[in-house]
Structure 1
Amino acid sequence: MHDVWPAAGVLLASRYRLVTLLETGGMAQVWRATDELLDRHVAVKLPAGDTRAAHMAWREARLAARLSHPGIAAVHDYREAVRPDGSVVPFVVMELLSGETVAARLCDAGGPMPWGEAVSIGAAVAEALAAAHAAGVVHRDIKPGNVMLCPGGVKLLDFGISAAAGEPDDDETGVSFGTPAYAAPERLDGKPAEPATDLYGLGVLLFEMVTGDPPYDVNTWEELAAAQAHGPTPLPGSLPARLRELITRCLDDDPHRRPTAAQARRALARLVPSAPARLTIPLPKPPPTGHAKVLPAPAREAAPPPIRRITVGIALAATAVAFIAVINAVGSADDGRAEFAGPPAGATSPSPPTPSSSPSPSPSPSPSAPSAPAAPAQSAPPPVPPPSATARTTAATLTVEAALSRVQDTVERGEDAGEIRPDVALDFQNLLRLIDPDAETGAGLTEQVDQLLRKVRQRANEGGITKTQATLLRERLTDLRSLATP
């Protein structure tokens, strides 16, 4: 019988043996333990305090169990143990992680981290939050101490004061308000739980990572109220303008003006120094300069130059054919969106020129149509390929990086237009991030694109993506697949 409970060596629920105390907080203790049934190491969270703390442990387990994402620490079990005095205490069994928290990293560095590393971490947290919000869970305690930097990537921890989206905030004691420096203004007003609260926490997290301190470096609620009257500390002007703008939007007092987690993830992913960003597995390392690598804009398929063909025959027929060619050429040049400059639908393409010893008569310019400038003498142009061949030729001029960027842009635009469900878009983006344009060629690229093509078909059958958007996405992926080198 142990005189002190809990203590190392105690066996909980005839299965989990406590090994080492890892952390002690105001509401719980976290222990390293061994699951003797499955022979694995786990983390055990034992609530401290009254029955309210025990009830919150149960809520945490239920809400966290909804989530399955590589950027969120997994919950394995919820059980109850009996103290030596006969009272019952619940506990939560979680995934045991190795690494350090962002708070520890900042403490060790004695100041801010490079902004490239900060946006990588922030993008991973935003991705995890997007998954949580899609499942109807609001974390409500985003801060450096709850973000773990593990060998496998970034992990979001501690759903101890989380709530279901829309749930009334009936805590009059303030126990579930979290830490003053990281609390969103609406939490103090007792408003129902909403995802925008986590975006405020993300803004504070980003602010602290790039400056070394939170926007309001306070310890009490009274100090927070006084600091908010003067506004947050200004962000360094040396940071990218888009990063400063995003942090400012996240810290807006009005929750409705903050971005969603998916929007923040996209904005941060564009700033990640190594693109495409592998946000959760593994964490990308920024270059020494901290400068972002800018992805080139998606290549735009330019219409091939119009080609005039004049057949040999009687002068009247030659003039008529040439006149039609000029009209078609002018129409194609005016439409910058055309991928193929050819005859209108239903018309027959003119035959290739027949060799002749005498030149064909040149057509006279029509008074109603602008005359085309004379082209310099050159060899006969090659025949115009059909539309499908032209599209393939254009795709072949893309780099893997540009083709990948086109696919990512298509997914983002589809999500913004409501043609791709947010959870489906997140699924696509997670798979796209695993493709490295500087390394993926041959069988590796083909296999990953084939997986995405299967996913598009599956999601279209489920109704998660419209038929039109699925067709466009398949075309973009096919272009990317064609760039795999044998």
Structure 2
Amino acid sequence: MHDVWPAPGLLLTSRYRLVTLLETGGMAQVWRATDELLDRPVAVKLPAGDTRAAHLAWREARLAARLSHPGIAAVHDYREAVRPDGSVAPFVVMELLSGETVAARLTDGPMPWGEAVSIAAAVAEALAAAHAAGVVHRDIKPGNVMLCTGGVKLLDFGISATAGEPDDDDTGATFGTPAYAAPERLDGKPAEPATDLYGLGVLLFEMVAGEPPYSVDTWEELAAAQSHGPARLPESLPERLRDLIGRCLQEDPYRRPSAAEARRALTRLIPSTASRRTIPLPTRPPTGSARVVPRLTGAGDPSLNRRRIALGIGLAVVAGSFVVLVNTVGGAEDDAQFAAPPSPSPSPSATRETTAPPAPPSPAPEEKTLTVDAAVGRVRDAVEQGEEAGEIRSDVALDFLNLLGQLDGLSEVKVDDQVDLLSRKVRQRLGEGGLTSDQAGLIQDRLDDLKGASA
């Protein structure tokens, strides 16, 4: 019997062996554990203390079990252990993640806005999936967003609820964290998807500014801070990003964007590389689905106009030669059969038309170069158009766009490594059914062009 419960080495329900205490919060402990039945590492979340925490553990397991999304930490199991005093301790078994939370990342100061946008886009994608399943998270904050090697993960559905569910909590424990709580929650209104969008706006604000709009720890401090107004965003941020954050932080929940709308806006804001290295344009047309039309050069492109003019001159010369040949053959047959009088002399204008010197050969098209920035844009276009056409799943498209956004400022070797990673992702996602084979081929062609930039 352990003097302290729980303790390392404790076996819960004859299956989960506690290894190391990872985190202690106000309502729960999170342990690294081993699932001895399946021989895999897991995270075990044990409630701290009262029956309210135990009830929330059960709710968290039920609601999180509805969700299956790569951006949401998976729940594997729900069990109940018996404490030494005979009381029951329910616990949740979850996916064990490695990485750091956004809260830990922010201890070094604000993030570059491009990194913040990429993270927020992944969170918005996860929220869109949760909202589609009728689940509201209710506690979006830096400590509940983890940056893992495989991507961004949304954690801790401990106070989540079904959309529109009335509060039955007089303690305020399910209201969320004061600095991130939406105004309507303070008025006792049920949580709706718009509640999470307010939290997303605060998260974005803090990632780019280093602090939330109201940097407070208690509800009383929040009320006092609101009388003085929120902190200000840095003036150097792009206007579209400032506008999106402002929309998320609207006091009226009906004026906030949906999670899907926020994801689309954030995806468009993810920056691409600003490198000026160049690579030759491909001489072969890209292969791909007929439903996805690659973005072409505009009508004012000189090389495109020269190709059109050259093609027109060539066709005119061929057509003129064909007319002369038909007239010659037809005239000989008429003379033999009908002995017609000789034709009048051709008019000067006709003579000029048939005896004009051949058109000079069209000049060879100049080799057009493509900046790396433009090459990244071509890959981005292919991904976005594939998503719009329904041939790339939205979470897969976001994964690709996030990896593209990380190309900014990389060295040539690092760009090659990132492009190789994207190529592997394309193959992996194709095997999972996340995009069509035509889309995979088109994106790979564009990636081949981009990789040439480091040659």
Q: Alpha-carbon deviation of 1:127?
A: 2.0
For the structure 1 residues 479 and 25, does the alpha-carbon distance in structure 2 shift closer, same or farther, using more than 3 Å as the test? closer
Structure with the bigger RCO (C-alpha within 8 Å, sep 6+) is 2
Q: Alpha-carbon deviation of 1:31?
A: 1.4
Map 1:272-311 to 2 at 5 A: 272-274=270-272, 298-300=295-297, 302=299, 305=308, 307=312, 309=316, 311=320
Partners of 1:152 and 1:68 lie apart in 2 by 16
Q: Deviations over 1:63-96 (max 9, x none)?
A: 1112222222111110000111111111001112
Name 1:64's counterpart in structure 2.
64
Partners of 1:39 and 1:20 lie apart in 2 by 16
Partners of 2:96 and 2:431 lie apart in 1 by 32
Name 1:233's counterpart in structure 2.
231
Name 1:405's counterpart in structure 2.
380
Verify the 8 A CA contact 1:298 1:402 in the aligned structure 2. no
Verify the 8 A CA contact 2:122 2:398 in the aligned structure 1. no
Q: Alpha-carbon deviation of 1:266?
A: 2.5
Find 1:171's aligned residue among 151, 169, 177: 169
Verify the 8 A CA contact 1:34 1:40 in the aligned structure 2. yes
Q: Alpha-carbon deviation of 1:233?
A: 0.9
Name 1:35's counterpart in structure 2.
35
Partners of 2:27 and 2:93 lie apart in 1 by 16
Q: Alpha-carbon deviation of 1:162?
A: 0.8
For the structure 1 residues 99 and 434, does the alpha-carbon distance in structure 2 shift closer, same or farther, using more than 3 Å as the test? closer
- Partner of 1:204, secondary structure, is helix
1:80 aligns with 2:73: no
Name 1:22's counterpart in structure 2.
22
Q: Alpha-carbon deviation of 1:453?
A: 13
Verify the 8 A CA contact 1:446 1:481 in the aligned structure 2. no
Name 2:110's counterpart in structure 1.
112
Find 2:214's aligned residue among 206, 213, 216: 216
Verify the 8 A CA contact 2:272 2:376 in the aligned structure 1. no
Name 1:379's counterpart in structure 2.
360
The percent of aligned pairs where both chains have the same amino acid is 66
Partners of 2:400 and 2:64 lie apart in 1 by 23
Name 2:252's counterpart in structure 1.
254
Verify the 8 A CA contact 2:382 2:442 in the aligned structure 1. no
Q: Alpha-carbon deviation of 1:477?
A: 7.6
Unpaired runs of at least 5, structure 1: 276-296, 318-355, 362-376, 383-395, 459-473
Q: Alpha-carbon deviation of 1:433?
A: 5.8
For the structure 1 residues 229 and 450, does the alpha-carbon distance in structure 2 shift closer, same or farther, using more than 3 Å as the test? closer
Partners of 1:129 and 1:255 lie apart in 2 by 16
Partners of 1:132 and 1:301 lie apart in 2 by 41
Name 1:53's counterpart in structure 2.
53
Verify the 8 A CA contact 2:182 2:198 in the aligned structure 1. yes
Find 1:135's aligned residue among 116, 123, 133: 133
1:359 aligns with 2:352: yes
Q: Deviations over 1:372-429 (max 9, x none)?
A: xxxxx963779xxxxxxxxxxxxx99975444333344356x4xxxx869x9544554
- Partner of 1:176, secondary structure, is coil
Partners of 2:193 and 2:55 lie apart in 1 by 22
Q: Alpha-carbon deviation of 1:252?
A: 1.0
Letter in 1 for 2:185: R
Name 1:155's counterpart in structure 2.
153
Which of the two has higher C-alpha Rg?
A: 2
- Partner of 2:68, secondary structure, is coil
Partners of 2:425 and 2:362 lie apart in 1 by 35
Moved more, 59-68 or 476-485: 476-485
Letter in 2 for 1:73: A
- Partner of 1:117, secondary structure, is helix
Verify the 8 A CA contact 1:77 1:94 in the aligned structure 2. yes
Unpaired runs of at least 5, structure 2: 274-293, 328-348, 364-369, 408-414
Letter in 2 for 1:86: G
For the structure 1 residues 208 and 407, does the alpha-carbon distance in structure 2 shift closer, same or farther, using more than 3 Å as the test? same
Map 1:301-340 to 2 at 5 A: 302=299, 305=308, 307=312, 309=316, 311=320
Letter in 2 for 1:220: T
Q: Alpha-carbon deviation of 1:140?
A: 0.9
Could you say which structure has the higher helix fraction? 2
Partners of 1:4 and 1:17 lie apart in 2 by 15
Total equivalences in the alignment = 374
Partners of 1:143 and 1:481 lie apart in 2 by 36
Q: Alpha-carbon deviation of 1:50?
A: 2.4
- Structure-1-length-normalised TM-score: 0.66
Q: Deviations over 1:128-174 (max 9, x none)?
A: 22222222221111111111122332221111011122322332321
Partners of 1:450 and 1:146 lie apart in 2 by 26
For the structure 1 residues 482 and 91, does the alpha-carbon distance in structure 2 shift closer, same or farther, using more than 3 Å as the test? closer
Q: Alpha-carbon deviation of 1:447?
A: 6.8
Q: Alpha-carbon deviation of 1:432?
A: 6.5
Partners of 2:155 and 2:383 lie apart in 1 by 29
Verify the 8 A CA contact 1:115 1:210 in the aligned structure 2. yes
- Partner of 1:177, secondary structure, is coil
Letter in 2 for 1:360: E
Verify the 8 A CA contact 2:135 2:160 in the aligned structure 1. yes
- Partner of 2:45, secondary structure, is strand
Name 2:265's counterpart in structure 1.
267
Q: Deviations over 1:172-199 (max 9, x none)?
A: 3211011111111111122232211111
Name 1:331's counterpart in structure 2.
none
Verify the 8 A CA contact 1:431 1:452 in the aligned structure 2. no
For the structure 1 residues 227 and 246, does the alpha-carbon distance in structure 2 shift closer, same or farther, using more than 3 Å as the test? same
Verify the 8 A CA contact 2:23 2:29 in the aligned structure 1. yes
For the structure 1 residues 431 and 273, does the alpha-carbon distance in structure 2 shift closer, same or farther, using more than 3 Å as the test? closer
Name 2:98's counterpart in structure 1.
98
Verify the 8 A CA contact 1:453 1:477 in the aligned structure 2. no
Name 1:199's counterpart in structure 2.
197
Letter in 1 for 2:116: A
Verify the 8 A CA contact 2:141 2:180 in the aligned structure 1. yes
For the structure 1 residues 119 and 446, does the alpha-carbon distance in structure 2 shift closer, same or farther, using more than 3 Å as the test? closer
Letter in 1 for 2:156: D
Q: Alpha-carbon deviation of 1:44?
A: 0.8
